[in-house]
Structure 1
Amino acid sequence: MAAEENLVVTAGKPWSRGAALRDPDEEHRASTPLELFFDLCFVVAVSQLTGRLEHAYATGHIGTGMQGFAMLLFAVWWAWMNFTWFASAHDSDDVPYRLLTLLQMAGVLILAAGVDAAFDGQTYRVVVAGYVVMRVALIVQWLRVAAHQPSVRTRARRYAIGVGVVQLLWIGAAIPDSITLFKALFLPLMLIEILVPIWAEQAEAPGLMWHAEHIAERYGLFALIILGESVLAATVAVNDATEGGVTAPVVTVAGGGLLVAFSCWWLYFDTLGGDGPDSQTRAFTWGYGHYVVFGALAAVGGGIATAAAAVAAHGPEHGIPDRTAALAVTVPLAVFLVAVGVISLRPKDPCGPERLVRWAIAAAALVLAGFVLPPAPATAVAGGVAALLVAVETVAAHRRYRAQTDTGRIRAAG
């Protein structure tokens, strides 16, 4: 591989160095300041989605609220994910790259501005406009790769063509400005979006293109962003709930919610935090599976906020139904556990299936608790179940460590 195809970011370079081909085995690869700044823009969109999901619970529009949440979260997550994987392989950090990243940041802010209109059933045009802006910027990035990196030209062209065609389809779906039509077309267009990387990665390329540790760190940072939004949403809701005085149910929801958030952090980073994808197949299952993980984490925050509002009777005219508020906490947490358990399965990991069984049993118990308990006890149970799993997995990890250490000593003595 030519030296110019392995450009690394250094000071004193020309304003344009062309698209880079980063070394997937580069040592000490970490998220750049630009990537961290890029992530901050997504805080706005995630916050909007979490708030609107909570509003849908409170007003009784659960079905439409969850549908809108899933659709808009896909747009946010997909644009973020595509940039993340692109940057892991082709971050040249020159002026054109930075300006194109700025354009993507502008796109997510436009998308966030259209969240309310989309949730209210008015129009998806603003959301589509922001989404297309982000995707057009990425198309230009891929065209730069095709122009400057002959070894991956076919792959880059496939990405540019595939993404471009789908954007035309999104625009076509938004032009009639029919909510019913757009929702009907959303799933087929989403599937086409998902298939584009699968098709593009079948092109000849010099081995795996991404940096596994870098990808794991990027996903972990996004998980932290969503957890932060969940804590913020819950804090605001608890603050509102205590306006009439601190009560035992409010304290229970606050304590259980914090325990849920902390346990989610612990379980995610001990299970997936350092586990970057090491094969093409795992890259797709690992990368795509996080849509469910991120969605569940965001919904957990909305659920805790809903539970806090319910115990303070801040719902609509007759308050939020207890079952709705309880399930808003327990179901997303259950989905999170199952999703992380499934993604963590690896062929050479004998502990994965056992862990998945434990977490699936816990998920079933959480759903049952949501059906039979009021919001405050259900939130407390959710925190307790999550904390119990943390304890079980921590003990199991310690026992594996001891077993490996003892085995190593026996071999050394032999």
Structure 2
Amino acid sequence: MEEKKVTWLELFYDLLFVAAVATATHVLLHVEKGFIHPEYLFKFALIFIPIWWAWTGQTMFINRFGQDFLHQRIFMIFQMFFVLIMISSLSVDFDQYYFSFLIGYIGLRALTSIQYLVVQNFEKGDRKKVARFLGIRFGIGVFISFLSIFFDSWVRYAVLYAGIIVDMILPIIGHKYLVKVPPNTAHLLERFALLTLILFGESVISILAVVQPQKGEWDSILFSIMTFCLIISMWWQYFENVEKKVNKSIQRAGQTIVYGHLFILMSLSMIAASIKLMFLHEVQYTFILYFVFGSVLLYFIATTIVFHQYRFEQHRLKIYHLGLFLGILAVFFTINLFLTVPYIVIIGELTLFFIVYAKVTTT
């Protein structure tokens, strides 16, 4: 497979989206009566999915058809303006900023659709068919989402997400076309890994912004150290697998990587929010227990599925490995459910889990 390098403009593009993800994560910090109200959990998903899908759409275009040409740079720069509009519109009060958010999202997706239609004029054979297929189908999804501007209350959100769902399902339906022009697996893994890495860094920065030792309090200092150990163990497991345990020459449609990373990235945001909430002691013990272990479980399942298909055959995990990891989480969760433990102990348990997860999956 031809080597494809990540450009500096792509990396700059990622930074804007990480800012959007950080804003979405902030929604999870709204606590009422000791727990996160379901409304905020729902808003988090409402905000997060369009951000992820807008980034993914442009990334997949660059992966299949991108060249570091002047006109493609201009397309990406224009997209950045729409990203800024979208970021400035992200708020817990989603209704108030809906129209500006819609402009940002529609602008991003429309430009991606146009790029496919433009590039198909320069392609031949299956590449031309795939570019036309994606350009037209994504245009349909964008149009459906745009129609939400004519509605109010919950109806406009239903219409917006109907367009997004159409956008997300069409590549799955068109799998038989897309597999004829498979993405560059090495580049695709690198792109998602780079975004994940920046999110890890953002998690460290945002957590330390809250977990600031006051007057040398050792409890806060120890919590900071344990939190960093947790994040570094997660980092180790993820990137050691990406670097050494996956076969980057495999040519598939890449949909496991794409859709699996939605849950990886969402769970990272949820874990970061959980750590902040545990330090601030603003949530009920039982709620945070379910929330943090649920977030870790989501991350574990998503990473397991994503990496399994692309692992070298001799490195693929067996069913007993799955039982081991789930068993460790279940034991820790059950103990904590019946015996109230300090939050730092929970952080330590999760760190131990990820150390075992990293050890087993990377050796």
Relative to the length of structure 1, the TM-score reads 0.78
Q: What's the offset of the Cα at 1:366?
A: 5.0
2:259 matches 1:288: yes
Unaligned runs of 5+ in 2: none
2:139 matches 1:164: yes
Structure-2 change in CA distance of 1:298 and 1:369 (3 Å): farther
Equivalent runs, 1:166-181 vs 2, <5 Å:
166-178=141-153, 180-181=154-155
* Conserved 8 A contact 1:57-1:325: no
* Conserved 8 A contact 2:182-2:252: no
Match of 2:273 in 1: 302
Aligned length: 355
Q: What's the offset of the Cα at 1:127?
A: 2.1
2:350 matches 1:377: no
2:199 matches 1:232: no
Match of 1:89 in 2: 64
Sequence identity of aligned pairs in percent?
A: 22
Q: What's the offset of the Cα at 1:163?
A: 1.1
Match of 2:25 in 1: 50
2:91 matches 1:111: no
Question: In terms of Rg, which structure is larger?
Answer: 1
- Match 1:194 to one of 158, 168, 171: 168
- Match 2:37 to one of 62, 68, 71: 62
**Equivalent AA in structure 2 for residue 299 of structure 1:** M
Q: What's the offset of the Cα at 1:291?
A: 0.6
Structure-2 change in CA distance of 1:57 and 1:225 (3 Å): farther
**Equivalent AA in structure 2 for residue 300 of structure 1:** I
Structure-2 change in CA distance of 1:340 and 1:355 (3 Å): farther
Cα separation, 2, equivalents of 1:336 and 1:58: 27
Cα separation, 1, equivalents of 2:169 and 2:41: 24
2:359 matches 1:391: yes
* Conserved 8 A contact 1:303-1:325: yes
Q: Deviations over 1:308-343 (max 9, x none)?
A: 111xxxx4xxxx323334444332122111211122
- Match 2:239 to one of 269, 274, 283: 269
Match of 2:300 in 1: 337
Cα separation, 1, equivalents of 2:333 and 2:102: 35
* Conserved 8 A contact 2:189-2:257: no
Q: What's the offset of the Cα at 1:72?
A: 1.6
Cα separation, 1, equivalents of 2:162 and 2:288: 32
Q: Which moved more, 1:328-337 or 1:296-305?
A: 328-337
Structure-2 change in CA distance of 1:352 and 1:171 (3 Å): farther
RMSD (Å) for aligned C-alpha atoms: 2.6
* Conserved 8 A contact 2:138-2:167: yes
Q: What's the offset of the Cα at 1:98?
A: 0.5
Match of 1:353 in 2: 319
**Equivalent AA in structure 2 for residue 329 of structure 1:** V
Relative to the length of structure 2, the TM-score reads 0.88
Q: Which moved more, 1:267-276 or 1:347-356?
A: 347-356
Cα separation, 1, equivalents of 2:32 and 2:192: 28
Structure-2 change in CA distance of 1:164 and 1:269 (3 Å): same
Q: What's the offset of the Cα at 1:238?
A: 0.1
Structure-2 change in CA distance of 1:163 and 1:157 (3 Å): same
- Match 1:78 to one of 38, 53, 61: 53
* Conserved 8 A contact 1:54-1:306: yes
Q: What's the offset of the Cα at 1:164?
A: 1.2
Cα separation, 1, equivalents of 2:77 and 2:142: 19
Q: What's the offset of the Cα at 1:352?
A: 4.6
Match of 2:103 in 1: 129
